[in-house]
Amino acid sequence: MEIDITSFFENAEPWKFSHSIAEGGPSAGSDTWRAALSEAAEAPLLKTPEALDALRGWARSSGGWEKDEIDAWSADECNALFIQLVSGDMREAGLDEQFADEIDWTDYDRRAEAGQIAGTIFKSGEAIYYSLSD
């Protein structure tokens, strides 16, 4: 499923939602989770039951959580996890260091095809999407 992340992509500070202990100190995990939960409550990216189900499907396929745990997540928790996922992929690709209109999407695609980055983000027209699949 493709999720429109245009507003988040253009306005968010991905570091707030995804950084390591080396970058943010020992409370990095709780700090980024709290920030993502706050952002999720204010501006959710997963706005439909189908989008929430897509995130849950992705989580099940990752093997990182048990089915019962995933099924118990609230919409805010699903959105917070998605915000962290998007932020991490943006940071990995260096997309958080450029303005949206300065990004070389051809180079991004080349790096994705070479396995250097996840390649989950793409531009179509003026919109920017995240490809969420399990």
Number of compact structural domains in the chain: 1
Q: What is the pLDDT of residue 99?
A: 78
- Over residues 92-118, the mean pLDDT reads 92
Sign of CA dihedral 26, 28, 29, 35: positive
Residues 6 or more apart in contact with residue 52 via CB below 8 angstroms = 46, 75, 78
Task: Using alpha carbons only, give the angle 32, 98, 25 rounded to the nearest 5 degrees.
Answer: 25
Task: Check residue 100 and give its pLDDT.
Answer: 76
Q: Which residue is it, tokens 């805010």?
A: 76
Statement: residue 134 has pLDDT above 90 = no
Judged against a pLDDT cut of 90, whether residue 108 lies above it is answered with yes
Average pLDDT over residues 67-72: 96
In this predicted structure, what is the pLDDT of residue 69? 97
Q: Residues 97-101: what's their mean pLDDT?
A: 79
Whole-number average pLDDT of the chain: 96
pLDDT for 85 equals 98
Structural domain harbouring 50: 2-131
Q: Above pLDDT 90, what percent of the chain? A: 94
Q: Is the pLDDT of residue 97 over 90?
A: no
Closest CA relative to residue 13, chosen from 114, 105, 95, 125: 95
Q: pTM for the whole thing?
A: 0.95
Please write the tens of the pLDDT for every residue from 1-59: 999 999 999 999 999 999 999 999 999 999 999 999 999 999 999 999 999 999 999 99
